[in-house]
Chain A
Amino acid sequence: MTALRQVKLGTYYVVHLPEADDFDFWRERARALVQCDVPPDRIAWVEPGGSGDLFADGERRMPVPPESAPIVRANRRFVQLARNAILHSDTERFAVLYRLLWRLQANPGIMEDKADSDVRRIEELDKNVRRDSHKMHAFVRFRLVESEKEEAGEHYVAWFQPEHHILRANAGFFMRRFANMRWSILTPRGSLHWDGETMSEGPPAQRSDAPGGDPMEDLWRTYYASIFNPARLKIGAMLKEMPKKYWKNMPEAALIPELVAGAQKREAAMVEKGTLEFEERPETLGEIDKAIHACRKCPIGSLDNQPVMGEGPQNAALMIVGEQPGDQEDRSGRPFVGPAGQLLDVHLDKVGIDRRASYVTNAVKHFKYVQRGKRRLHQNPGAKEIDTCRWWIESERAIVQPKIVLAMGASAARGMLGKTVSISKVRGAPIALEDGSELWVTAHPSYLLRLDGAARDEQARLFDADLAAVKERLEELT
């Protein structure tokens, strides 16, 4: 190469770039300078608005490469990185790129050497520019400007402050995405305008040139606040991807401080209101009896009533579950002693099931009622109340471990299954429970009490048939 050196030793060259992001211009000049064997430290690259003071007396005319000059080599990886890196706001980028291009002539494989400091530097520049472009795609926020002239149609305008010279390079992204929309992106480094057919460039703009708001932003802020889950605050993760410097141009970012402040409070409130702090499962029936006296997990427990614990042998093979205590059960504190209980006894006797050998209990432990004068009128427990009370019935079942559970009525069935089933559809056949036991579902005896005539006879017959099937199955299993 020395033979080609037609450049005077000690000459400095100053290259003025017409635009800060003009890769093609840089490439053309860099190629000529390499061909003329101008070492990196003899060139000053000056971008518009930059100063070339350091080389005030430098040569501004470019050297002309001799015809015999070798072809300048640059592999694809270098060109790919250089195109992007040149958009960086780092004033040294042209010089670093030139130095790498210079070194590339002697060492064509240098781009693979990821531990080389110049390669690392260029990769870093490229990475920063890609990130800035990506954030521009993400964080540009258009605002609708209603035009005075009807025919002009809707015009969307955004104000954005990119960190690097990326505006022009990203015009294509917005054009492809919003091809049939009239839009402008204004930045401190220049502006872009698309009218649906052609792209034009404009001078640098100011924030005040862009519209100050858009009615749609209320909806967007509502969405932002609602999609946020206050139960999982991860501020670091948010800041990493959405640094504060972008916040000022994003309408939703103003909400962040209050969302963060409110989050812990909201979560605490949610836990208090929603999740129930049943600590450990009780291990004996006595513990359950004690615990249900203190249970206020649903509103029924706060009424003027007392809980009614199940009764029967702790190792009973059959567990009979009703809905909830009635007026008489509440007064006596024992299950199935009122009219429905008496009717149940009659039918159990008839098919030959010994109630004293069974564990009799209720899906809901307290009596739910409304006061009408002196009378307390029975009210069905709600699904949520039954679900809340499942904790107790499940605990009882875990201790007694019956082979068969007979659930009487829809509430009892829900207490066992966690879902509401139709009695007429599920009665007459066993449903397998998780622990291997069988669930049989039948009507509640109080249902029979509300019927009369032929309907009652028919339901009594079905009830007896269900009880008989349970008895038969019980004998098979014990």
Chain B
Amino acid sequence: MPFDIGESRGGTYSEQMAAHSVLQKLGILADAAKYDASCASSGTAKKNSLAGKGIGSTEGMGICHAYAPDGRCISLLKILLTNHCVFDCHYCVNRKSSNVARARFNPQEVVDLTLAFYRRNYIEGLFLSSGIVKNSNHTMEQIVEVARILREEHDFRGYIHLKTIPEADAEIVHQAGLYADRVSINVELPTDSGLTRLAPDKDARQIEGAMGKVRSDLAEAKDARKRFKYAPRFAPAGQSTQMIVGADAATDADIVGKASRLYDNFRLRRVYYSAFSPIPDASAVLPLKRPPLIREHRLYQSDWLMRFYGYKPSEVMQATEADGNLPLDIDPKLAWALKFREAFPVDVNRASKEQLLRVPGLGVKAVAKILASRRHRALRLDDVALLTQSITKVRPFICTVDWRPVMLTDRADLRSLLAPRTEQLELFAA
């Protein structure tokens, strides 16, 4: 049987492109963009269209306009300008050697789609990324052009997130920050050796260099606004990045370490984790199995511990198991508590905020409620039960006026008592 030798699709490039309707292109270019985890639209400067000519507002809290059955929020029109790419990154569905359908939007088409969706209240704005066509500068210029038309010609005041290309000139990347609410550069893989192996065209130092430049642009713009009221804003929602989990051999400890260095060095708003997911037409050097989705979830939980619960990266790493990975059956906070049982139980009526935040099952809100309520009454176990999601999870680690976990904290089988039972969720069960 004969087989395809290289590219055997008929027609010239432009003929193929003309044949694609906007609908088909949207299908291809949204499909190509879905491996980017971020869809956040929060934390930017407040703006609205009352005094303007166009539409759009951002009021601090992002809005998820729909949820897909993968549980992810759809807040932005997240598409690629094109999925043609001269790079050949193995984990990427759009890599040069991949045999997927290709399409290309021109900037005006993206602008029209964004506005049409926005007017119908489908979205908060646009998240635009792109494969590299011709060269990095050309591609970055096209991305910036979309943002420029939206902002300058349509006075669009919704949210814009632009993915920037580390290899592009700093001046063009800077331009992107002037139009966008957020800019991001993906570090892609947690280790340099993983990047060399799976993204041979990318360079870790160049990526970090570009993130450093964005950081200084952010600081400069912030400083200028303190002195001049009308100094231009630069990406008021800051910068973020994404790491692919499970495509290389990096352990959770490696990943947590890398994330904390990125937070420190580049003042990132967020580090997103994306569990490597099987892509059509995968490259042969990729791992054989995809990592469990729960691994990604555990990494996000560890991220939360560092950002909101006062854990140091080294402490999160203490929660990992012998193989350097976080346990999958229990959350990292519980894992840490089980390893450091001498820190418990804590007395909810006396303990400091920092101590309370370490209690498995007590979230930031519950801790705030406990701190406020205990000024008015000596808390009993029933009171704590009213303020928390699940008292059974909390009970082994706290003391109240009427409760002391005499044996519980020391029980060897505590882990199995607290590990959640697995259950199957059924959507269309009768």
Q: Do residues B284 and A390 form an inter-chain contact, with CB atoms below 8 A?
A: yes
Q: Do residues A112 and B376 form an inter-chain contact, with CB atoms below 8 A?
A: yes
For this complex, 10 residue pairs linking A to B, each with C-beta atoms less than 8 Å apart, are A112-B372, A143-B120, A177-B48, A226-B34, A227-B34, A228-B69, A238-B68, A259-B68, A299-B3, A389-B284
Q: Kindly identify which residue among B56, B376, B428 contacts A177, using a CB–CB cutoff of 8 Å.
A: B56
User: CB-CB contacts of B259-286 with A at 8 A, as 1s and 0s?
Assistant: 0000000000000000101111111111
Q: Do residues A180 and B54 form an inter-chain contact, with CB atoms below 8 A?
A: yes
| Residue numbers in B under 8 Å from A114 (CB-CB) | 369-370, 372-373, 386-387
Q: Do residues A115 and B387 form an inter-chain contact, with CB atoms below 8 A?
A: yes
Given contacts A143-B120, A222-B23, contact A250 B54 (CB under 8 A): no
| Residue numbers in B under 8 Å from A271 (CB-CB) | 278
Stretch at the interface among A15-23, A306-314, A416-424, A470-478: A416-424
A379 within 8 A of B: yes
Q: Do residues A227 and B68 form an inter-chain contact, with CB atoms below 8 A?
A: yes
User: CB-CB contacts of A148-174 with B at 8 A, as 1s and 0s?
Assistant: 000000001010000000000000010
The complex places the Cα of A120 from the Cα of B387 at a distance, in Å, of 9
Residue of chain A at shortest CB distance from B96? A383
How many A-B pairs have beta carbons closer than 8 Å: the answer is 242
A86 within 8 A of B: no
B31, chain A: closest CB distance, angstroms: 4
Stretch at the interface among A65-73, A273-281, A318-326, A327-335: A273-281
Residue of chain B at shortest CB distance from A255? B69
User: CB-CB contacts of B374-388 with A at 8 A, as 1s and 0s?
Assistant: 011101000100110
Residue of chain A at shortest CB distance from B4? A299
A404, chain B: closest CB distance, angstroms: 19
A356 within 8 A of B: no
B420, chain A: closest CB distance, angstroms: 13
A300, chain B: closest CB distance, angstroms: 8
B310 within 8 A of A: no
The complex places the Cα of A242 from the Cα of B427 at a distance, in Å, of 12
B275, chain A: closest CB distance, angstroms: 7
The complex places the Cα of A323 from the Cα of B100 at a distance, in Å, of 25
A81 within 8 A of B: no
Residue of chain A at shortest CB distance from B198? A418
The complex places the Cα of A158 from the Cα of B119 at a distance, in Å, of 11
Residue of chain B at shortest CB distance from A235? B427
Contacts of A413-454 to chain B: CB distance below 8 A: 417-420, 434
3 smallest CB-CB distances across A and B, nearest first, come from A237-B71, A234-B71, A383-B97
A357 within 8 A of B: no
A3 within 8 A of B: no
Residue of chain A at shortest CB distance from B57? A177
Given contacts A180-B53, A419-B200, contact A156 B73 (CB under 8 A): no
B13 within 8 A of A: no
Interface residue total, chain B, C-beta cutoff 8 A: 90
Contact size range, A: 35 or more
Residue of chain A at shortest CB distance from B193? A434
Q: Do residues B90 and A219 form an inter-chain contact, with CB atoms below 8 A?
A: no
B299, chain A: closest CB distance, angstroms: 15
Q: Do residues B73 and A241 form an inter-chain contact, with CB atoms below 8 A?
A: yes
User: CB-CB contacts of A52-69 with B at 8 A, as 1s and 0s?
Assistant: 000000000000000000
Q: Do residues A267 and B96 form an inter-chain contact, with CB atoms below 8 A?
A: no
A interface, by DSSP: helix, strand, loop or mixed?
helix
B160 within 8 A of A: no
| Residue numbers in B under 8 Å from A254 (CB-CB) | none
Residue of chain B at shortest CB distance from A389? B284
The complex places the Cα of A139 from the Cα of B425 at a distance, in Å, of 24
Residue of chain B at shortest CB distance from A237? B71
Q: Do residues A226 and B30 form an inter-chain contact, with CB atoms below 8 A?
A: yes
Q: Do residues A418 and B121 form an inter-chain contact, with CB atoms below 8 A?
A: no
Q: Do residues B64 and A387 form an inter-chain contact, with CB atoms below 8 A?
A: no
A66, chain B: closest CB distance, angstroms: 32
Q: Do residues A112 and B6 form an inter-chain contact, with CB atoms below 8 A?
A: no
| Residue numbers in B under 8 Å from A276 (CB-CB) | 282, 284, 288
A294 within 8 A of B: no
Q: Do residues B280 and A219 form an inter-chain contact, with CB atoms below 8 A?
A: no
B113, chain A: closest CB distance, angstroms: 7
User: CB-CB contacts of B381-404 with A at 8 A, as 1s and 0s?
Assistant: 001001100000000000000000
The complex places the Cα of A412 from the Cα of B257 at a distance, in Å, of 36
Q: Do residues B280 and A270 form an inter-chain contact, with CB atoms below 8 A?
A: yes
B55 within 8 A of A: yes
Contacts of B124-174 to chain A: CB distance below 8 A: none
| Residue numbers in B under 8 Å from A112 (CB-CB) | 372-373, 375-376
Q: Do residues A257 and B55 form an inter-chain contact, with CB atoms below 8 A?
A: no
| Residue numbers in A under 8 Å from B290 (CB-CB) | 231
| Residue numbers in A under 8 Å from B63 (CB-CB) | 134, 137-138
B42, chain A: closest CB distance, angstroms: 12
The complex places the Cα of A45 from the Cα of B56 at a distance, in Å, of 40
Q: Kindly identify which residue among B22, B74, B293, B379 contacts A232, using a CB–CB cutoff of 8 Å.
A: B293
Q: Do residues A229 and B35 form an inter-chain contact, with CB atoms below 8 A?
A: yes
| Residue numbers in B under 8 Å from A241 (CB-CB) | 64, 67, 73
The complex places the Cα of A179 from the Cα of B47 at a distance, in Å, of 12
| Residue numbers in A under 8 Å from B16 (CB-CB) | none
Q: Kindly identify which residue among A115, A223, A224, A229 contacts B373, using a CB–CB cutoff of 8 Å.
A: A115
User: CB-CB contacts of A389-407 with B at 8 A, as 1s and 0s?
Assistant: 1110010000000000000
Q: Do residues B90 and A223 form an inter-chain contact, with CB atoms below 8 A?
A: no
Contacts of B335-388 to chain A: CB distance below 8 A: 369-370, 372-373, 375-377, 379, 383, 386-387
Q: Do residues A229 and B200 form an inter-chain contact, with CB atoms below 8 A?
A: no
Q: Do residues B288 and A141 form an inter-chain contact, with CB atoms below 8 A?
A: no
Q: Do residues A232 and B33 form an inter-chain contact, with CB atoms below 8 A?
A: no
Q: Do residues A242 and B66 form an inter-chain contact, with CB atoms below 8 A?
A: yes
Q: Kindly identify which residue among A226, A233, A239, A279 contacts B26, using a CB–CB cutoff of 8 Å.
A: A226
| Residue numbers in B under 8 Å from A462 (CB-CB) | none
The complex places the Cα of A257 from the Cα of B372 at a distance, in Å, of 45
User: CB-CB contacts of A368-396 with B at 8 A, as 1s and 0s?
Assistant: 00100000000100111001111100100
| Residue numbers in A under 8 Å from B1 (CB-CB) | 302
| Residue numbers in B under 8 Å from A143 (CB-CB) | 120
Q: Do residues A228 and B284 form an inter-chain contact, with CB atoms below 8 A?
A: no
The complex places the Cα of A274 from the Cα of B290 at a distance, in Å, of 12
Q: Do residues B77 and A223 form an inter-chain contact, with CB atoms below 8 A?
A: yes
Q: Do residues A173 and B69 form an inter-chain contact, with CB atoms below 8 A?
A: no
B119, chain A: closest CB distance, angstroms: 6
The complex places the Cα of A257 from the Cα of B197 at a distance, in Å, of 40
B400, chain A: closest CB distance, angstroms: 11
The complex places the Cα of A143 from the Cα of B121 at a distance, in Å, of 9
The complex places the Cα of A256 from the Cα of B74 at a distance, in Å, of 14
Given contacts A114-B372, A114-B373, A180-B49, contact A257 B66 (CB under 8 A): no
| Residue numbers in B under 8 Å from A383 (CB-CB) | 88, 96-97
Residue of chain A at shortest CB distance from B380? A115
Q: Do residues B5 and A274 form an inter-chain contact, with CB atoms below 8 A?
A: no
B356, chain A: closest CB distance, angstroms: 14
Q: Do residues A113 and B376 form an inter-chain contact, with CB atoms below 8 A?
A: yes
A92 within 8 A of B: no
